[in-house]
């Protein structure tokens, strides 16, 4: 009788690879950013759309925290600059969530101009990605705004929460068209630099720090971000037209002396023409040209020329 064959000894799993603690050098980081956005542009369209909706909602979540932080600051008892910096910092949670989850944010998607310039991405998938990302962001942001209204958050603290939304929304549709366009260029410079810095991060904390600085800068200074506005401006319209008498009779709203007539300039038309259009165009210029094309020319063009002989 032959003895049973002995079983092989179990093999211990290999330990996880230790990430390189060093930040990539700028040329390598530019290549990493290009590769990351190429991968986003080549995802299946259904997955791309779902991730775009998620990004719109996550930026909206950041704006919810911003609104919450600004309640009661208009009275003048708190330093204006410090209040804005606090609001900007807490808003950065939205982009941090986008980075950690791999969601698809249109303003970051403008960086797909880099693989386009490198001829690694065709014009058709490039434009398709932009359109899907923009539409998905809008749907996700508006859906979140509807949920917030149904939850009654706008009526918090005697209507103080909704009052921040209305005042912010009115300010956003009151900019001259060219000023909104220029503010949007500056905003997406900051957002894309935040994503660039986050790409260099080796840990979750690194990525948060990379995002927080540029995001705090743009929000505190009042630059204009199209996807953030896709939440804030529909939220403002929902509060204006759907909050009901209970909101307008809230303690904070009455103390501020505000009525629905004070927001007559906040309409669907003003949201689209005076904000969405110039801000989307400005974000494209700030992300695709000022950051994406600039750093492609700075680092990628010469590297590709060397690779191709």
Please tell me the predicted confidence (pLDDT) of residue 293.
98
d(CA 64, CA 165): 9
- What pLDDT is stored for residue 13 in this prediction? 64
Q: Look up the pTM and report it.
A: 0.91
Q: Is the dihedral of CA 228, 234, 237, 239 positive or negative?
A: negative
> What's the rounded Cα separation, in Å, for the pair 138 and 226?
9
CA angle 26, 17, 101 (to 5 degrees): 65
Domains in the chain, CATH or no CATH each: 26-307 (1.20.1080.10)
pLDDT value of position 1:
53
pLDDT tens, N- to C-terminus, the chain (309 residues): 555 555 655 655 656 655 566 788 999 999 999 999 999 999 999 999 999 999 999 999 999 999 999 998 866 677 888 999 999 999 999 999 999 999 999 999 999 999 999 999 999 999 999 999 999 999 999 999 999 999 999 999 999 999 999 999 999 999 999 999 999 999 999 999 999 999 999 899 999 999 999 999 999 999 999 999 999 999 999 999 999 999 999 999 999 999 999 999 999 999 999 999 999 999 999 999 999 999 999 999 998 888 877
pLDDT of residue 78: 76
CA distance linking residue 276 with residue 13, whole number of Å: 52
Q: What is the pLDDT of residue 259?
A: 96
- DSSP, collapsed to helix, strand or coil, labels residue 18 as coil
pLDDT at site 93: 95
pLDDT at 307: 84
């Amino acid at each position: 009788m032959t003895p049973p064959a002995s079983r092989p000894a179990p093999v211990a799993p290999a330990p996880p690879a230790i990430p390189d603690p060093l930040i990539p050098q700028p040329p390598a980081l530019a290549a990493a950013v290009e590769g990351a956005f190429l991968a986003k542009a080549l995802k299946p369209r259904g997955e791309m759309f779902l991730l775009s909706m998620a990004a719109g909602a996550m930026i909206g979540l950041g704006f919810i925290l911003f609104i919450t932080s600004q309640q009661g600051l208009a009275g003048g008892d708190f330093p204006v600059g410090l209040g804005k910096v606090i609001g900007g910092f807490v808003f950065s949670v939205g982009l941090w969530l986008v980075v950690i989850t791999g969601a698809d944010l249109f303003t970051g998607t403008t960086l797909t101009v880099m693989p386009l310039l490198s001829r690694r991405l065709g014009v058709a998938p490039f434009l398709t990605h932009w359109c899907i990302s923009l539409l998905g962001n809008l749907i996700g942001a508006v859906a979140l705004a509807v949920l917030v209204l149904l939850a009654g958050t706008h009526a918090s603290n005697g209507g103080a929460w909704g009052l921040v939304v209305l005042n912010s929304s009115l300010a956003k549709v009151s900019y001259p068209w060219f000023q909104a366009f220029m503010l949007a260029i500056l905003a997406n410079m900051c957002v894309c630099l935040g994503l660039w810095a986050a790409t260099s991060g080796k840990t979750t904390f690194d990525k948060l720090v990379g995002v927080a600085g540029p995001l705090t800068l743009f929000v505190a200074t009042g630059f204009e971000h199209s996807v953030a506005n896709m939440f804030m401006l529909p939220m403002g319209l929902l509060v204006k037209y759907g909050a009901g008498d209970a909101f307008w009779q809230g303690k904070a709203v009455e103390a501020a002396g505000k009525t629905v007539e004070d927001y007559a300039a906040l309409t669907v038309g003003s949201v689209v023409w005076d904000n969405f259009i110039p801000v989307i165009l400005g974000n494209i210029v700030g992300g695709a040209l000022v950051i994406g094309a600039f750093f492609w020319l700075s680092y990628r063009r010469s590297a590709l020329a060397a690779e191709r002989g």
